[in-house]
Amino acid sequence: MLKASIQTIRLKEKSGNKILLSDLSFSLNSGKIYTILGKNGSGKSTLIKSLTNLLDRRFYEISGQVFWKGKDILSLEDSFLLNIRKNEIRYVFQDLTNSFDPLKKFKYYFDNSGFDRQNISELLDYFLLPDYEHLSNLHPYEVSGGMAQRISLVFALLPIPGLIILDEPTSAIDFTNVNLVTLKLKEMISSGNQSALIVTQDVKFAKEISDEIAFLSNGKLGSFMTTENFLLNPDENLDVFLKSFKELE
């Protein structure tokens, strides 16, 4: 469904361009949950932003292609790109309270989602959120981080996207919510037409939810392996990572 082959992502600097990530090639099929594991600062967020051309080209230089249903996203015109971002590839970002406009009530987002009250209410109920009426009158800064994340997830799931990309879904929310997110994602992919890409540093969560995992370190992405194989055959860098994880458990 999505096939990425990106040679390099560079940061433009006065003193020459700095390579942030290189040799990113992978393909994602529908009906599966993929996870990219990596440490803080390993470039996870940059990687997922590059997939729908969200990186600001004034500061970043990307060489490569990302194919979505046969078309190269990175060379698409804006109108097509916006449509893909709106209906087909949806994101749930890490900094959620700030991914909503603080001056607009949630009513604004409900009205502009293009979905009726019934659809939205069902998902709100699923994620244990306040009802449509109540939430419509709240501003984004009036809800907690965990709630903002679930609201963002509701908006991401509404158009039934082909791919949903989640950035650190487990950071700073409690386990009940992580549990709910896990259940919903598994339910979502079971239809067979949708898939999810998660970037996280949470090994335990990755282990629980993923069909396939890849490890990102030193600017390079390893290949996707099934969760079992991945945990059995760790490469050197990953080994340290997993060891720390085991020692904490």
Partner 1 sequence: MTDIILKVNNIFYSVENKKGFNTYESFEILKHISFEIERGSVFGVSGESGSGKSTLAKLLAGIIKPTSGNITTNYKKDWTHSSVKPVQLLFQNDGEILNPFRVVDDVLNESIELRKNKENYNSKNVDDLIKQFDLPLNIKSRKCSQLSGGEQQRVALARIIAVEPEILILDEPFSSQDVESRLNLFNLIKSIKSLGVSIICISHELNILKNLAENILIMFKGEIVESGNTIDIFNNPKHNYTKYLLSAESLKLSYMEIHSFHNNYEQD
Q: Coil, strand, or helix at residue 108?
A: helix
DSSP 8-state assignment for residue 33: E
**Binding to partner 1 by residue 183, rule CB under 8 A?**
yes
**In the complex, what is the shortest distance from the CB of residue 100 to partner 1, in angstroms, rounded to a whole number?**
19
**223: which 2 tokens?**
């290949």
Cα torsion 176, 123, 100, 12 to 10°: value is 80
User: Nearer Cβ to partner 1, position 114 or 145?
Assistant: 145
Return the DSSP state at 17: P
Residue 160 as a binder of partner 1 (CB under 8 A): the answer is: no
Q: Where are the alpha helices (DSSP H) in 33-116?
A: 44-51, 78-83, 106-112
Q: What are phi and psi of 4, to 5 degrees?
A: -110, 135
Under the binding rule (CB under 8 A), the answer on residue 144 touching partner 1 is yes
Sign of the CA dihedral running 172, 201, 186, 190: positive
Q: How far is the CB of 148 from partner 1 (least distance, A)?
A: 13
Minimum separation from the CB atom of position 237 to partner 1 (A): 11
128 binds partner 1 (CB under 8 A): yes
Q: Which stretch binds partner 1 (CB under 8 A): 4-12, 52-60, 103-111, 175-183?
A: 175-183
Using CA of residue 105, residue 107, residue 112, residue 115, what is the dihedral sign? positive
Distance between CA atoms of residues 83 and 78, nearest Å: 9
The least distance separating partner 1 from the CB of residue 206, rounded to whole angstroms, comes to 11
Residue 60 binds partner 1, judged by CB under 8 A: no
Binding-site size, partner 1 (CB under 8 A): 30
Q: Is residue 39 involved in binding partner 1 (CB under 8 A)?
A: yes
For helices 145-157 and 175-189, angle between their N-to-C axes, nearest 10 degrees: 10
Q: Among candidates 76, 80, 78, which has minimal Cα distance to 65?
A: 76
| Nearer to partner 1 among residue 68 and residue 215 (C-beta) | 215
Cα–Cα distance, 149 to 128 (Å, whole number): 12
CB of 247 to partner 1, least distance (A): 6
Binding mask 193-212 toward partner 1 (x if CB under 8 A, else -) reads: --------x-x-x--xx---
When asked if residue 40 is in the footprint of partner 1 (CB under 8 A), the reply is yes
- Nearest distance, CB of residue 16 and partner 1, angstroms: 22
Task: Name the site residues for partner 1 (rule: CB under 8 A).
Answer: 39-41, 126, 128, 144, 146, 171-176, 178-180, 182-183, 201, 203, 205, 208-209, 240-241, 244-245, 247-249
